[in-house]
Amino acid sequence: MAIQIKYDSEFSFIFPKAYAKIENIRINIEDELFRIEIRYFATKEARQIDTSLGIGKEIIEVKFSDIGKIKNFDKNSIKTLCYNYIKTLDQFKGGVDLL
């Protein structure tokens, strides 16, 4: 799962068809938080060639209560919940879902 978006890098480069992918999710049970690590790549092809070719990274912290009802704590269910959540954020609105 990934989202194709327009991405403005920290160095003011604009990538009109950047590839945003959840690379890691950490769960903090004590604070009831998900820490979602998103990596950005210039294109889908760049990510497939070499995962070190990223153009940016972001960590988004989300409370359990903000992400929706958690039915299963398996890896794919959590990733799908987080993916659906980030699609609601302004920087991902209008993005194209990619497999």
Residue 29 confidence (pLDDT) above 80 = yes
pLDDT > 80? residue 37: yes
User: Contacts by 23-31 with C-beta closer than 8 Å and gap 24+?
Assistant: 23/57, 25/78, 25/79, 25/82, 27/78
Contact 67, 50 (CB under 8 A): no
Banded model confidence at residue 30, pLDDT cuts 50, 70, 90: very high
- The predicted structure's pLDDT at residue 52: 74
Query: What is the full DSSP assignment across 64-93?
Result: HHHH------SHHHHHHHHHHHHTTSGGGT
What is the enclosing helix (H) or strand (E) of 58? strand 54-63
User: Is residue 58 scored above 80 in pLDDT?
Assistant: yes
Single-letter amino acid code for the residue at 25: I
SS3 (DSSP) at 13: coil
Q: How far apart are CA 26 and CA 33, in angstroms?
A: 8
